[in-house]
Amino acid sequence: METKINKLREIEKSKNPFKVPENYFAQFNEEIMNRLPEKEIVKPRTVPLWDKVKPWVYMAAMFIGLYITINFLTQQNGQSTMASGDTAIQQTLTGSPQAENYWSTVQITEEEFYQYLEEQIIDDSYFDYMYNQYYLN
């Protein structure tokens, strides 16, 4: 152990113990390039036309299928409601009051609507629930 310490003391602090061969960095690039293996030149692969077009064809097929499905479902729905739609058309043509309301065939006044809501609240005992939440808690 002492011999290693003695050797370290022998090295002068001002002198660099490492040495680089002459013109090492001047020829460094050339040496590295000479040691590398030759690069093989690979021809780029030719991509067939079908491989280029395939994603677009698949997407078009998907949209066509979606269009056909939606048309089929809307026609099925339209045929099943045709009987009830005929009566609505007749009422519209005769000028009944239901023709004025586009979104609903049910005619109800505001008062009847509020009465219905009040009955629902009473039936479901929401008044008791709200009273307990406000006054008992």
Q: What is the pLDDT of residues 74-94, one digit of tens each?
A: 887 656 555 555 555 555 555
* 3-state SS assignment for residue 124: coil
Q: Where are the domains of the chain?
A: 2-35
Q: Record the pTM.
A: 0.31
DSSP string, 85-118: HHHHHHHHHHT-GGGT-SS-S----HHHHHHHHH
Q: Which of 37-46, 107-116, 118-127 is the least confident region?
A: 118-127
d(CA 119, CA 126): 10
